[in-house]
C-alpha cells in the first residue's frame, strides 16, 4: 500500500487522521482527527490499519 501526503488513514489503535508529511516510504507525520495537540506524532507503516481516503482518487 502506497501512502501519500493528505491521505486519510485509520491506525491500529483506532485513531483516524491525515498524513501531513511523508518522510520516506515507511515513516509519516500524522494529524489525528479531533486532536489539537501541537506535537504531531510520527507513525510507521506498521501502525496503519487501512487507508480510508486517497488524495490521488479525488
Q: Which residues contact 12 (CB under 8 A, 6 or more apart)?
A: 47, 48, 49
pTM for this structure?
A: 0.88
47: cell is 501502525
CA distance 53 to 38: 23
- Give me the residue spans of the domains in the chain: 8-57
> What is the per-residue pLDDT for 15?
93
pLDDT-flagged residues of the chain (< 70): none
Distance CA 42, CA 27 (A): 7
Amino acid at each position: 500500500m502506497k501512502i501519500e501526503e493528505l491521505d486519510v488513514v485509520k491506525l491500529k489503535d483506532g485513531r483516524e487522521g491525515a498524513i501531513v508529511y511523508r518522510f520516506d516510504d515507511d515513516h509519516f507525520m500524522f494529524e489525528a482527527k479531533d486532536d489539537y495537540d501541537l506535537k504531531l506524532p510520527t507513525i510507521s507503516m506498521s501502525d496503519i490499519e487501512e487507508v480510508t481516503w486517497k488524495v490521488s482518487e479525488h
